[in-house]
Amino acid sequence: MSRSLKKGPYVDEKLFRKVQRLSDQNRRIPIKTWARACTIVPEFVGHTFQVHNGRHFIDVFCTEDMVGHKLGEFSLTRLFRGHTNKKEGVKMRR
Amino acid sequence: MPRIAGIDIPEKKKIRYAMRYIYGIGPKASDDILSEAEVDGDRRAHELTDQEVSQIATIIDGAYIVEGALRRQVQQHIQRLREIRCYRGDRHRRGLPVRGQRTKCNARTRKGRKKTVAGKKGVKGH
């Protein structure tokens, strides 16, 4: 189910303020964030975020195409390394 | 035989249903178009006058995206998801379900025919 239009998109306040501050100073430094649920708004375009995936921070460079998606969509939380090889019988780790 | 939207030739069915053979026209769009063209949806497709047919065609051309153009549009949307390397794009690339369905079992529409894996579950040897 989609979010009520009345509320507008969910944007993490703190993150948004930080982006604005950087934009005002014309600085583009990567921003570390845990706000995966935050929608990418047009103001974010051109900034790089380091979005936490539960373990690492993944670099996400926001382009115009990404507007409307959530930051978390670009920072995958699962790692699939293929199925167990029957002959070796051991799951390859890491 | 009436021809609407390019190559589509819906047949002896009621026009309301015949129009649904066009890719991009469903029950809702079909009824909307007919009421706009003031054509009775219960009449058979072949009973329509040329004028009525062309009127329907004009409405579709003007306000609806159908057939090839629609297919292309859908492909472009998918392509976009792939290019921005987001989760949904990734699922499209891997041919797995995109909307959070389980993949432990089922998901055959996306994954294709099942590939039997030796040693899994009841397959002999285990």
Within a domain: B86: no
Please give the pLDDT value at position B126. Answer: 47
pTM: 0.73
Q: Please tell me the distance from the alpha carbon of residue A73 to that of residue A52, in angstroms, as a whole number.
A: 11
Which residue, among A51, A69, A70, A90, would best test binding to B if mutated, counting the most B CBs under 10 Å from its CB?
Answer: A69
Indicate which CATH number applies to the domain containing B41.
1.10.8.50
Residue B70 forms part of a structural domain: no
Instruction: Check residue A94 and give its pLDDT.
Output: 44
Region class of B64: left (phi > 0), else alpha (psi between -120 and 50), else beta: beta
Task: Supply the pLDDT for residue B1.
Answer: 63
**Cα-based torsion angle of the residue sequence A92, B92, A72, B84 in order, rounded to the nearest 10 degrees:** 110
**3-state SS, residue B14:** strand
Q: Residue type for B35, please? A: S
Identify the domain containing residue B20 by its residue range: 3-63
- Output the tens digit of pLDDT for each of chain A's 94 residues: 788 999 999 999 999 999 999 989 888 889 999 999 999 999 999 999 999 999 999 999 998 888 889 999 998 888 887 777 665 555 554 4
3-state class (DSSP) for residue A39: strand
C-alpha neighbours within 13 Å on the C-beta side of residue A87: 0
* Domain count across chain B: 1
Cβ–Cβ gap B80/A69 under 8 Å: no
Query: Tell me, what amino acid is at A79?
Result: L
> Is residue B100 included in any domain, yes or no?
no
Q: Is residue B49 part of a domain?
A: yes
Tokens of B108: 């055959």
State residue B30's pLDDT score: 92
Instruction: State pLDDT tens for residues B36-88.
Output: 999 898 988 888 888 888 888 889 988 889 888 999 999 999 999 888 878 88
Work out the average pLDDT over B91-97: 90
| Residues A16, A41: Cα–Cα separation, whole Å | 9
CB contact (8 A) between residue A69 and residue B90:
no
Query: How far A86 CA lies from chain B's nearest CA (Å)?
Result: 8
B25 lies in some domain: yes
**B112 lies in some domain:** no
Quote the mean pLDDT of chain B: 85
**ipTM rounded to 2 decimals:** 0.71
Whose structure tokens read 């294709």?
B112
